[in-house]
Amino acid sequence: MGRLHERRLALIGAGNMGFALLEGWAGQGLQGDAVTIIEPNPSTQLIALCQNTGFELYAEPKACIPSDAVVLAIKPQMLDESVNAAGYFLHSGALLISILAGKSIKDLSARFPQISSVVRAMPNTPAAVGRGMTGIYASDATSAKQRDLTESLLKPISQVEWLSEEKQIDMLTAISGSGPAYVFYLVETLASAGVKLGLSAALSQKLARATIEGAGELLHQMPDVTAEDLRKRVTSPGGTTAAALAILMKDDGLAAILEQAVEAARHRAEELAG
């Protein structure tokens, strides 16, 4: 993680995503009082992690500790009540990284006028197992070193992509942010279809899960092969897969439904952003 161990970090909120970040940092060798965590309701796993790493854990700030980066990993509706806690760690040269959905850089800058370097990051739930995808957008004042620091903090749990416009955060949210739920629902519906064919619920669930897990692993291990090419490799002309795809690939089939779903997610993200 480069010179990350020389940085002072603060994490405000250590729920699922915050905990994933901490595990990623610990896995890279970060430890001790370099990390201060503010979490009023710590899980047993968080307490154990802090005991093992030496990370400092508090329900609320005890003293001002100027930090190089402050990561906001709280729920969006808790932003206003977290301003005071974050203020204990922020100073004019600090970097603020927010993973709050729907809170723009303008929103954040209004609440934290003492800083100008602000990054919005939108990870997704596979970050919990180190396989996330995170889109990032930075304010103009964010320096190259602060961008590097942002990557160092996020790469232990996900791939990262810098976005050229802040509005792309809403687009990314609709694809990778909400995307895992689409895949989980596919497992549900595939398993349900198996039950209707006459398989047991347990066997259908096992088949559906293993199929999606395996297909995802193929994508992961074959990055230079497109999804289209992988699909064609499975599809024999006139075979069973071709018969199923003929239904899924109708004009009003899966592609059309997904386009509607993604557009609905993007629109909702814009509404939440105000």
Tell me phi and psi for residue 41, to 5 degrees. Answer: -130, 70
Question: Which string of b and e fits 249-273 if b means at least 16 CB within 10 Å?
Answer: eeeeeeeeeeeeebeebbebbbeeb
Q: What is the pLDDT of residue 272?
A: 79
* Close Cβ partners of 160 (under 8 Å, ≥ 6 residues apart): 134, 135, 136, 150, 151, 154
| Spatial separation of the C-alpha atoms in residues 21 and 162, rounded to whole Å | 18
Domain with CATH 3.40.50.720 in the chain: 4-168
The residue among 95, 88, 98 whose CA lies nearest residue 13 is 98
- Considering only CA atoms, which of 101, 108, 82 is closest in space to residue 11? 82
Q: CA–CA separation, 133 vs 68, rounded Å?
A: 24
CATH 1.10.3730.10 domain residues, the chain: 179-273
β pairing state of 132-138 and 117-122? antiparallel
For 4-168, CATH number out of 3.40.50.720, 3.40.50.2300, 3.10.20.30, 3.10.25.10 equals 3.40.50.720
Q: Output the DSSP codes for 149-191.
A: HHHHHHTTTEEEEE-SSTTHHHHHIIIIITHHHHHHHHHHHHH
Backbone angles phi, psi at 239, to 5 degrees: -90, -170
Q: What is the 3-state secondary structure (H, E, C) of 38-59?
A: ECCCCCHHHHHHHHHHCCEEEC
Fold of the domain built from segment(s) 179-273: ProC C-terminal domain-like fold (1.10.3730)
| CA atoms lying within 13 Å on the CB side of residue 73 | 25
- Per DSSP, the three-state class of 113 is coil
Per-residue pLDDT in tens (0 to 9) along the chain, 274 residues: 446 667 899 999 999 999 999 999 999 888 898 999 999 999 999 999 999 999 999 999 988 889 999 999 999 889 988 999 999 999 999 999 999 988 999 999 999 999 999 999 999 999 999 999 999 999 999 999 999 999 999 999 999 999 999 999 999 999 999 999 999 999 999 999 999 999 999 999 999 999 999 999 999 999 999 999 999 999 999 999 999 999 999 999 999 999 999 999 999 988 877 6
| Token couple for 14 | 């250590």
pLDDT of 40 reads: 95
